[in-house]
Structure 1
């Protein structure tokens, strides 16, 4: 989007109200099927895992059941690992990578972890290839008390009983060209602030927690992902998406204070993956494989710490 071109919804400099949000929602169209691409693959896992519905989104006239997959032989003496995908519904490899991990590798951790995996937290957004939910709210800024996002509130309720038990949480995301062409301009318009163009990093990177950075953990994940796809370099300012690069392919955010999904537990080891699916150097399958490599590296590193 040309920054000189006003966003097609709302008045520049004025935050959206109910009418503008309704207009934005009316423009969102279904482009793929949550039922076919997510729910049906989850149901096929029932022979080996417990599948539970942990909530339901109500966006009239649509309703979306929310599913999580967990280890069948749950053992409270084992550490718990949480894997989340599709917090931003448009980030395809986060969803499909979580499902691929379940199919191909989750069984390898039987007797070593209790696994809890929520592959698609935002199915309304998944179907519309959209970052926000139907209320024009970003679920990945909404993991806090009195959350305005149904998606975030449901996941928080799911994991609340596990307080103190989660050793590792990896949240699977993407950074796409559409962040710059569509989603950042929409955010600026919604909030009534000027749109400030930024670049899109070419490659995979991680977002750690600035209050619990675990640098060796982050680097262990980067090392494994680098075997699958390329790692994003720092820009000319030594940054990735406006944040200082603290190690190759790693930046840090204030995860809990920002309401990010990676802060939904008090896990010792947490990270957010960012795959770049629009790179000419990466295929969709490589993107899924990178997510799987990140999950495996995170789980293996945390286990190795004793």
Structure 2
């Protein structure tokens, strides 16, 4: 696939403030964070500790940030972090995190402390965007003094919590709009060429290159394949241009790339990727797959 031209900017020239403003002005609200996310989170208050850990400056009233914790945290229990909606447009990451809390989190609360941030990028959720309003990708911005306030808010929450994470599961999607919109926009913004346009048909995981924890990843894949299909490798034996570590799993340098999966020093880390545009899947199936990934990982950790 040839790299597509993009409607904003000049080919070969990085965007400045004017181009970023033009991009922002082209965005619009397409769905409701309050109705689809906040209402579900607040409904959990009778069973979990629901805390607001910040709000986005773009519209603090419209975009509060919430964390959900299991009751009765115990320093003797390992702590699990589940994050969703780092890329707001990746719907099942958000809804999968909420569904996990609604249906499964309590089943593990006697063994683990569990912290879930279901929607890190609510503006991105409403506008169905990968970036924030400043044309910054929050999932490349998990570093000290982050330029993305979505990322900075989570970093601050974790620092104030002061708890060592045992595992971190970050919920994502790979969609057809990655090719039709988001990669062309990225190429235009940064004045770069993209050569890989393969979108895997199915679920896969992204582990940490430095700390892959293969058995943990395997357990999650085995759990997910009970509810949906796992992405096969492409003709070159890769997924999104990266060599397979095992069936359905590739590895990234999570900390070096500023990924959410690298935000803690957790021993067990993964990023889920579902493909909602597959003819073999649908929105509900993607949500169920996210939950199966989390429970598969937690069930494995219980065996250690």
Q: TM-score range by the shorter chain?
A: over 0.9
Map of 1:128 onto structure 2: 127
Alpha carbons 1:88, 1:139 under 8 Å: kept: yes
Offset at 1:226? 0.4
SS at 1:212 equivalent = coil
Offset at 1:119? 0.2
Pair 1:221 & 2:220 matched: yes
Alpha carbons 1:41, 1:99 under 8 Å: kept: yes
Rounded to whole Å, the distance in 1 between the matches of 2:194 and 2:235 is 21
255 and 61 in structure 1: CA distance in 2 versus 1, 3 angstrom threshold? closer
Runs of 4+ that moved beyond 6 A? none
SS at 2:299 equivalent = helix
Map of 2:40 onto structure 1: 41
Rounded to whole Å, the distance in 2 between the matches of 1:285 and 1:104 is 14
300 and 61 in structure 1: CA distance in 2 versus 1, 3 angstrom threshold? closer
SS at 1:68 equivalent = strand
Map of 1:77 onto structure 2: 76
SS at 2:13 equivalent = coil
Offset at 1:71? 1.3
Pair 1:191 & 2:190 matched: yes
Alpha carbons 1:180, 1:197 under 8 Å: kept: no
SS at 1:58 equivalent = coil
Offset at 1:72? 1.8
Aligned-pair Cα RMSD in Å: 1.4
Map of 1:31 onto structure 2: 30
Offset at 1:284? 0.8
Rounded to whole Å, the distance in 2 between the matches of 1:278 and 1:284 is 9
Offset at 1:161? 4.1
Alpha carbons 2:196, 2:240 under 8 Å: kept: no
SS at 2:56 equivalent = strand
Alpha carbons 1:207, 1:252 under 8 Å: kept: yes
Map of 1:22 onto structure 2: 21
Offset at 1:193? 1.6
Alpha carbons 1:94, 1:172 under 8 Å: kept: yes
Rounded to whole Å, the distance in 2 between the matches of 1:271 and 1:293 is 13
Pair 1:277 & 2:276 matched: yes
Q: TM-score, normalised by structure 2?
A: 0.97
Rounded to whole Å, the distance in 1 between the matches of 2:60 and 2:179 is 31
Offset at 1:15? 0.4
Rounded to whole Å, the distance in 1 between the matches of 2:197 and 2:43 is 41
SS at 1:42 equivalent = helix
Rounded to whole Å, the distance in 2 between the matches of 1:63 and 1:135 is 17
Map residues 7-156 of structure 1 onto 2, 5 A cutoff.
7-59=6-58, 63-156=62-155
Offset at 1:61? 8.7
Rounded to whole Å, the distance in 2 between the matches of 1:296 and 1:163 is 25
Map of 1:167 onto structure 2: 166
Map of 1:240 onto structure 2: 239
Map of 2:181 onto structure 1: 182
40 and 60 in structure 1: CA distance in 2 versus 1, 3 angstrom threshold? closer
5+ residue gaps, structure 2, are none
Map of 2:157 onto structure 1: 158
Q: TM-score, normalised by structure 1?
A: 0.96
Alpha carbons 1:143, 1:260 under 8 Å: kept: yes
Rounded to whole Å, the distance in 2 between the matches of 1:202 and 1:194 is 24
2 and 210 in structure 1: CA distance in 2 versus 1, 3 angstrom threshold? closer
Rounded to whole Å, the distance in 1 between the matches of 2:48 and 2:24 is 36
